[in-house]
Amino acid sequence: MMGLLVFKEKLKQLYGKYNRYMIPAVKFLLGASSFFLISSNVGFMARLKNPLVPVVMGLVAAVVPCGVTAFFAGCFLIAHVSQVSLEAALIIAVFMLVVMMLYYGFRPGDGYLLLLTPMMFFLRVPYVIPLFVGLSGSLVSIVPVSCGVCIYYIMMYLKQNAGVLAGSTMSEMAERFIVIVQSLFGNQLMWVMAAAFAAGVLVVFLIRNLSVDYSWSIAIIAGVITQLVVIFIGDFYFNLPVAIGPMILGILVSVVLALVYQFFVFAVDYTRTEYLQYQDDDYYYYVKAVPKITVSQPDVKVHRISSRKSSRHEKSN
Amino acid sequence: MLNEEKIRIMTGIAMFEKKAGRDILPASRYFKSDYVGGRMIRSFIFYTFSSMLCLALWVLYQMEDIMSTMDVTALLASAKHVALFYAAGLLVYLAVTYWIYSRRYERASKGMKIYQAKLRRLEKKYEAPSVQGENEEERRV
């Protein structure tokens, strides 16, 4: 434990020293991997499939806000999809515009969730997102998280049905449009996952704000159980194609990641909790003070004491 | 010679501007009713435009049914439903907008007071040496 705390202090120092470079580096990684995932999954336009495109867009993402990167990624996705189906591209464009105007009009500053949520789906640990958002974000972040879930399932639909959409014999545009709308918005798995994530964020957020010991750990466990319960209820009612094994593995990894996050952000010692009570003219105060776990980084200095020198000094004396 | 106290205050002001300036400075230019009203008008436009986009998608989705039946009474009933949904959604959205921007304005007003207090402290620091200099000149005379 002590070793981990020292490691945490070292990381904090490192971040303090190099945060000027670290933040753009993280934004570059997020941007480049988002564009890479779009290209590798729904890369229908040959010109945009160039491997340099994610690198260049990552460099752009390093200097612009995450919301702008999400907008560029959306345009990139629409450009790819338009090669296969103009109708699908139109639906995605409307979806994007509506989210941008109705939610991002308030400038909430959580545009990165639109990129991060689908990315975690591709990394098989999507259940970590509601835990992180509930622990450190606000309730309104349910909107970008749910939109991120929709974006992932839209991408999956396009990936699996690209051949059908491109070589479709349906001559009528309206007919094609109806089929795509029904497939995209009639995807019960997408809605169940969005509901599970929204419920997860809500439960984690509510529990971590309670004044009980180990509230963050309880919130993580409760958040995971909530997600599982909602997915199982959805599975029971709609008979969803959910693979239990990978889901359990993903949930376990998500819990571990959330506990690591808790260690770095909220390390407190509940055994040394102080309960204080005092008053002023207007109020009585019942205060619970929980000390943070902090250690100072060991400052090791090695002094070399030469035996020859000391013996000479002794002789001279 | 560098005045550390001044540098500390100026750094504090610059950090405050960087962190909170984006929300505080626009709000400080208006009365609350103007600020919130302006944002509500913007929300109304955004909501109406979004609704029109969704309506266009819905019309495309229902195009075959609409063209095949061409029943005016059924179309009017659908239009009524759409208008009802639009109005209900608009009310909720405008209420959310009012709540969010009222809170932001109040937070910005508090922030502005802190910002002005910091500026006054800095101003005093600039005035202090000049007042001292004037006193010394008076003594010489």
User: What is the interface pTM, i.e. ipTM, of the complex?
Assistant: 0.74
Q: What is the pLDDT of residue B46?
A: 94
* Diameter over CA atoms, chain A: 107
- Closest approach of A171 to chain B, Cα-based (Å): 14
For A205-251, the pLDDT digits (tens) are: 999 999 888 999 999 999 999 999 999 999 989 888 888 888 999 99
| Structure tokens given for B141 | 């005379």
| A91 and chain B in contact, CB less than 8 A | yes
Partner-chain residue, chosen from A98, A105, A106, that has the shortest CB–CB distance to B54: A98
- pLDDT digit string, tens, across residues A283-307: 888 888 888 887 776 666 777 787 6
Q: Are A207 and A215 in contact (CB under 8 A)?
A: yes
* Residue of chain B with shortest Cα separation from A99: B50
Name the residue of chain A whose CA is nearest to B92's CA. A102
- Tell me the backbone φ, ψ of residue A209, rounded to 5 degrees: -90, 0
A189-206 exposure pattern, b = at least 16 Cβ within 10 A, e = fewer: bbbbbbbbbbbbbbbbbe
Residue whose C-alpha is closest to residue A103's, from B55, B50, B29, B57 = B50
Q: Which residues contact B133 (CB under 8 A, 6 or more apart)?
A: none
- Cα–Cα dist A195/A213, whole Å: 28
What is the residue-wise DSSP string for A100-137? Answer: HHHTGGG--S-THHHHHHHHHHHTT-TTHHHHHHHHHS
Contact B57 A98 (CB under 8 A): no
Task: List for chain B the helix, strand, coil content (%; round to 5).
Answer: 95, 0, 5
- What's residue A109's pLDDT? 77
B-side interface with A, Cβ within 8 Å? 42-43, 46-47, 49-50, 53-54, 56-57, 60-61, 63-64, 93, 97, 100
Give yes or no for a contact between A147 and A73, defined as CB atoms under 8 angstroms apart: no
Which residue from B43, B53, B63 is facing A98, i.e. has the nearest CB?
A: B53
- pLDDT tens-digit readout, B46-75: 999 999 999 998 888 887 777 777 778 888
pLDDT-derived band at A41 (thresholds 50, 70, 90) equals: confident
Contact state of B47 with A174 under an 8 Å Cβ cutoff: no
Interchain contact, B54 vs A94, CB within 8 Å: yes
- What does the pLDDT average to over B130-137? 60
Is the separation of the CB atoms in B16 and B135 below 8 Å?
Answer: no
Q: How near does any CA of chain B get to the CA of A300, in Å?
A: 32
A251's enclosing H/E stretch is: helix A244-265
List the beta bridge partners of residue A286: A277
Cβ pair A98:B47 closer than 8 A: no
- Per this entry, what is the length of chain A? 317
- Is A26:A63 a contact under the CB 8 Å cutoff? no
B61 to A181: CB separation less than 8 angstroms, yes or no: yes
A101 touches chain B (CB under 8 A): yes
Domain ranges of chain A: 2-162+172-297
Contacts of A240 (CB under 8 A, 6+ apart): A188, A189, A192, A231, A234
Q: Residue A175 belongs to what H/E stretch? A: helix A173-185
Q: B64–A178: do the CB atoms touch at under 8 Å?
A: yes
Of A9-18, A55-64, A87-96, B38-47, the one with minimum mean pLDDT is A9-18
pLDDT value at residue A317: 46
The C-alpha atoms of residue B50 and residue B89 are separated, in whole angstroms, by 11
pLDDT digits (tens, 9 = 90+) for A146-176: 999 999 999 899 888 887 777 666 566 777 8
